[in-house]
Amino acid sequence: MAEDTGLFGGVFARGGVDTGGRGWLRAMLDTEAALARALERAGLAPAGAGAAVTAAATTAAATLDPAALGGQAALTGNPVPALVRELTRMVPPDAAGAVHQGATSQDIIDTAAMLLARQALTAVTADLAATADGCAGLAAAHRDTLMIGRTLLQQAVPVTFGLVAAGWLTSLDEARQAAGRVAADRLAVQFGGAAGTLASLGTDGPRVAGLLAAELGLSCPLMPWHTDRLRVIDVGAACAGASAALAKIARDVTLLAQPEVGEVREGSGPPDAGGVRRGGSSAMPHKQNPVAAIAILGCTRRVPGLVATLVAAAEQEHQRAAGAWHAEWEPFADLLRLTGSAASWGAELAGRLIVDPGRMRANLDAAHGLPLAEHVSGLLAPALGRVAAHDLVARASAHAVTAGVPLREALLALPELREQLERVGVTQERIDSALDPAGYLGAARQFTDAALAAHARCSK
């Protein structure tokens, strides 16, 4: 779990993403140290300056108080000037000139944000991969497990749980690939100096920028991007995609885990040191809440607003923004943290989900054949025409609901319906076959197998 998470960190700061105050501090110090090394490599700082600043930055990361630096930020509008003063004080005098040389505060914070994004996206993609592996296992194990499909929250036609899990799997793999592309291609150093010209370094600026990028393992952009915030938006979009894929799974689980449905449930796992099991209620001992799914939704519900803030903040004035850049810091950090937490919860959810095929079949059978009305209508359409067949089966379905009888009985009980069925040669045996849910799954198995094959390729 990340540092500085507070009372709600167990839910909203789960996993390997650390964007708290100390995480930001480490990233900013890593940037300052890398800049000193780049300046030395460019011949613009004395020999040993890079190592001296790096050693001081390591010490500062462990000893400086992020909150104290934050308090000093009120004097300058951001915490970098205070950080630079502290770091300069900690290095030998002959290396002090290498601290922050050529940079502006935004260079340090933006580059630190890219370092945080890289760490976060690495953790998120790993947890998405674990979640996808869990879903792949569910899809393979339940390739032929029948259940009722639901559209607009109403019973529709039969599907398989394997198909449901395959849908989860495909979204996760696509979100993981998208996040990987952003991590590989869109995370770049920021190094432009006061107004994006690196004038204080003369003609050496672009070379130092390239060396800084190499030191940090980030891309070197064509030019500084102080007021071009597309990279920030791309990170936000990757987080939004991952969150959407995870939220879909979590929402399905909360619906399927309702006692009235009871088709899945979360595994509680072992109790904690105090004997408390996952999912308990403070007031209702009988409850088994789907905690992982709920936590995912608690995280992902906040993501769209954070992304919207980043997009709104992308409109920035001239060479450096007045306020819009500052508006990014906390939403960006929160977005990474919440996406990381949701992904960590997702890996646990998929790995512990318990499926009840018997309850799925019972719920399907309780619909008394009505979910197969479309199949029966298709059986009659060649002889009666599509509209007439639809209307006939609709009448039988309405009678089945009103009388509380299975669709088969309704089809065969009404004299005028029975006569039409006999006239077109539709026997009871053919109706029974049409009412078998296993015979109306279309390409469910092919789709499931295709998703599993794609996942295997994605995982290589």
CA dist 450 and 460 (Å) reads 16
Contacts of 208 (CB under 8 A, 6+ apart): 35, 38, 39, 42, 44, 102, 191, 198, 201
Evaluate whether 16 touches 340 at the Cβ level (below 8 Å).
Answer: yes
Which residues face 189 on adjacent strands?
none
Evaluate whether 131 touches 347 at the Cβ level (below 8 Å).
Answer: yes
CA dist 377 and 133 (Å) reads 39
SS3 content of the chain, % helix, strand, coil (to 5): 65, 5, 30
Our measurement of the distance from residue 74's CA atom to the centroid of its chain's CA atoms, rounded to an integer in Å, reads 34
Which residue type is seen at 17?
Answer: V
| DSSP-assigned letter for residue 116 | H
Name the catalytic one among 320, 359, 395, 430.
320
Active site residue 26: no
CA dist 101 and 37 (Å) reads 11
Active site residue 320: yes
DSSP of 120-189: HHHHHHHHHHHHHHHHHHHHHHTTT-EEEEEETTEEEEEEEHHHHHHHHHHHHHHHHHHHHHHHHHS-B-
Name the catalytic one among 281, 386, 433, 459.
281
The H or E element that residue 449 is part of is helix 444-458
CA dist 111 and 86 (Å) reads 19
Residues with a catalytic annotation lie at 281, 320
